[in-house]
Amino acid sequence: MGILLQIDFPYTGPFGDEMTEAFSPLASSIAQEKGLIWKIWTENREMNESGGIYLFEDTVSAEEYLKMHTARLESFGVQGIRAKLFEVNIPLSHLTKAVV
């Protein structure tokens, strides 16, 4: 089926290479999360926003991750987190060249 988790929040940096360096250890940890298929890391230095698009195997894994990750972001001082869970429409996504 595939559950997509969409998260974004206000973020003032670091961006680009410095963001990569700052969050590589966290990324290696996130890669081990139960039920995670992949995460795409997003950043926008003009809008001062960042976030992530995640694909999970099932709803329970996505919900548990969201709860844990929201608390982690808040512990970093992040406020104004926007999170949405969706099912993926697989046939339409295949028509538009997505590998899901």
- Chain positions contacting a second copy, by CB under 8 A: 4, 6, 8, 16, 19-20, 23-24, 27-28, 30-31, 36-44, 47, 49-51, 53, 84-89, 91-93, 95-100
Pairing of strands 49-56, 36-44: antiparallel
User: Min. distance of Cβ 52 from a second copy in angstroms?
Assistant: 8
Q: Are 30 and 90 in contact (CB under 8 A)?
A: no
User: Min. distance of Cβ 50 from a second copy in angstroms?
Assistant: 8
Largest CA distance in the chain: 40
Q: What element of type H or E holds 52?
A: strand 49-56
User: Min. distance of Cβ 58 from a second copy in angstroms?
Assistant: 15
Pick the closer one to a second copy by CB: 38 or 74: 38
> Which residues are bridge partners to 56 per DSSP?
3, 36
